[in-house]
Structure formats: structure tokens, C-alpha cells
Amino acid sequence: MDPVGIAIIGGGIFVKEQHIPAALASPLLSVKAIWSRSLRTAKEAAKLIPGDTATSVELYSSDSGESKSYEDILKRQDIAGVVIALPIVDQPKFIEKALAAGKHVLAEKPIAKDVATALKLIEYYKTVSAETNASLAIAENFRFNQGWAYAAEEIKKLGKVTGFVVRMNSMIQTSNRYYKTPWRTVPEYQGGFHLDGGVHFTAALRRLLGSENAIESLIAQTSLVSSHLAPVDSINAVMKTKSGAVGSYITSMGTTMEAFEFHVACERGVVKAEGAKVVTVRGTGQDAVVEEKVFEKTSGVKEEVHAWAESILSGIPNPEQAPELALGDLELMEKMLISGDRDGARQKLEYQHVEEFLEPLPQLRVHPVGIRSLSCAVHKDVNELADSLDLLDVFLEQCNLVDHAGFAEFVNSQAKLGDLGV
């Protein structure tokens, strides 16, 4: 099976430590090119490519001269997708150019610097993808951590959510290598590190609460404790869900306190999630049963990049990478910041009900490698493949993406699985 050719756009810390290793780890992808603002940083990123394949990876940059620009990458027929990790304010224009060129995009969170910009980007995506067939996925790696998914399922087992508390406290020092990145040191966007890193935590909270407990309103106070983390580094918010539950969201990136915990109380117990560790308490008092489960610590980036590759091959966008989900993560953070700026004025949220806001995903053409090649890489036997396709069929029907007969015809024509008995 020929893997999907991709380009890495960016040469920063996260690209070198996460994106490139993740792309190399997926048998479904082949890194064909790297672009960065300078040839120097592109070369640094390219050092991570193994010697046997490094010679086939071409380098592009803003200072490399003729035929080595970002636009030149987008002209290449052997590159089907791009992984984009650039400064927050710059990223949307790179995304739009890639989509216009018909390239599938996996872009780092946050989706944009604010909700208004994100809405314009999503609208542009919907318009252009209808013509170019390109897909837009937003990389929120917390959605691919096993711990958060497990905790969300445990919460569902314990009945109605009655309350929640989120506490995340840390100190980002001036010596922090991410802080030393110029665009983070003097941010040109709201919230500083809360927008850059904080959307991970709003994504985690939304994952735990589920759509039935979507946040509908909030009030917040914000402050700047450590002057080097302007404009704000601390948020204390009170939130109310559509189900009526009230919870608190307390976080600071400039405090001497330390905490990282998500507590969700339910009718029949409580779940405490700390990323890789989840503690479930079933019942109350002396009759309570405590269960602790620890998962392998992982960033989730390898999983998200591989999932993106699968979506390109199948022609079906991964719902966990939907731009609308990322919009909800961004909105929750933005509303806390706005409320803080307005001395605690109540804010109502519009884009948390994903099942209502999310329109049917575009039905993309299958990548030339085809579903059959994808399934051979992912599944070990025909029975497992058949079961997976049955589940996918049900999911697509429920999401109103295609009808049952249409999906069966799609599988038979695109994947040619008739000879496998599927």
C-alpha cells in the first residue's frame, strides 16, 4: 500500500517533538516536504527524519528562493495533505490556501484567535470543500487520550451530573521554552497562554460532561498574577449546564499553587480525572467502592495524526477532529475571558451544542489508495473488518451522513470488498 504523501508546515518545538514523530509512526503517511519560515528551522526539523528517507524530504521556506515557497508545496500532486502548526494569528490564512489547493488539512488548536475568525474559517471551509473536496481537521490531542474517554464513559454510568470542579494551577516561568517563543512572549491574541494551552482543558471538560451537559452560561473573574504572562494568567469561573448542573473552573498559569484535576459529581458517585489516571467512586459513605485506573501516558498526537490519515483514506472526516468541536472549545475559553474583562458579566454560549450546530460532514471522495488498502493496514482479518464496517454504517446513519443503502453501495464500489464477503 502506498502511504498518503503529506507536508509538515512549521518548524517549532511541537512540530519537532510531536508532529514529525507521529507522522513517521503512521504506516499510512509519508512525509514528502517540510516548510518553515526560515531554511534553518526547516533543516532542524528535517534532522528528525531517518537517514534512509531523509533524502526524499524536500525543504521549503520563506527565504529559500524561487520554487521553494509554501505555495509551491501546494502545487505538488504527490502531496495530498498538510499538517499545520504555526502561530495562532497566522494559521487561518495558511489553512485557507491549502483548502483552496485541494489539500486535506490537519491544523493545530486553537482553530483561530477568536470565535469570529473561527466562524469565518469554517464558512470558508464549507464553501471551498464543496469544490475542492478538501477536508479540515483540527488537532486537539486531548480527544485522543484514553483517560478522558474512559472517564467520560464512567460518568455516564453514574447517572445525572450534579456538579463539577476543575482545578489547574501551575507556574510558567520565563525560562520555559514555549514562553521564549516570540509570538507567545508578546501575544497578539486574547488570553495569552490560556488561549494557546487552555483550549486543551476546555476540550477535556466538554468531553467529560458530554453534549447532554453542555455549558449554557458562565460568569468569571480574571487577573494577572505574574506580570510576564500578560494579558491574564488566572481565571475563576462558575458555569451552568443545560441540564441545570453548576460547576467551577479554577485555573492559573502564574501561581505557586499546583493542581491538575477534574471532578465530576453524579447521582450515584463521582469521577476524578487527571489525564492518565482516573478514579471512580461508586456510591457514597461506607458503601462506596473506589476504583483507580491508570493509562499509559501519551500526548495523544500519534493517535490523532493516524486518525487523520485514516479519514483521508476513507473519505470520511473524523468527528473528533471536526472544526465545530474546536469552535466550542474556543468559545468556552473566550467567554470566560470576556466575562472577566466585564467584571463578571454573565455570558451565554452559542456553540456548545455540537449535535445541533454541526451540519452533516462533507462526503469526500476516497483517496486513491482506497478503503480496502486502509482496512488491510488497520485490520488483521476479514471478520474484524466486517464488524467495523457494520459499526461505521450505523454511525453514519445516526449522523445523517448517508443512508444505509448508499453506504453499502459506497463500500462495494470504492473498496471493492465484495470478494471478501463484506
Helix (H, G, I), strand (E, B) or coil at 125: helix
pTM of the model: 0.84
> Using CA atoms, how far apart are residues 290 and 284, in angstroms rounded to an integer?
10
Assess whether pLDDT exceeds 60 at residue 414: no
291 contact partners, CB below 8 Å, separation of at least 6: 279, 280, 281, 282
Tell me the average pLDDT across 193-213.
Answer: 95
> Using CA atoms, how far apart are residues 211 and 355, in angstroms rounded to an integer?
8
**Residue 75 has what pLDDT?**
97
Tell me the C-alpha to C-alpha distance, in Å, between residue 155 and each of 292, 304, 306.
14, 23, 27
> Using CA atoms, how far apart are residues 348 and 329, in angstroms rounded to an integer?
14
**Residue 13 has what pLDDT?**
94
Query: Residue 148: is it exposed, middle or buried by C-beta count within 10 angstroms (0-12/13-18/19+)?
Result: buried
Q: What is the pLDDT of residues 77-129, one digit of tens each?
A: 999 999 999 999 999 999 999 999 999 999 999 999 999 999 999 999 999 99
Assess whether pLDDT exceeds 60 at residue 394: no
Which of these, 302, 304, 308, 422, lies nearest to 367 by C-alpha position?
A: 308
Q: What is the DSSP letter of 245?
A: -
Q: What is the pLDDT of residues 345-358, one digit of tens each?
A: 999 999 998 655 44
Tell me the average pLDDT across 48-54.
Answer: 80
Backbone angles phi, psi at 354, to 5 degrees: -60, -40
Assess whether pLDDT exceeds 80 at residue 374: no
Helix (H, G, I), strand (E, B) or coil at 172: coil
Q: What is the pLDDT of residues 125-184, one digit of tens each?
A: 999 999 999 999 999 999 999 999 999 999 999 999 999 999 999 999 999 999 999 899
**Residue 179 has what pLDDT?**
93
> Using CA atoms, how far apart are residues 311 and 154, in angstroms rounded to an integer?
28
Tell me if 83 sits within 8 A of 6, measured CB to CB: yes
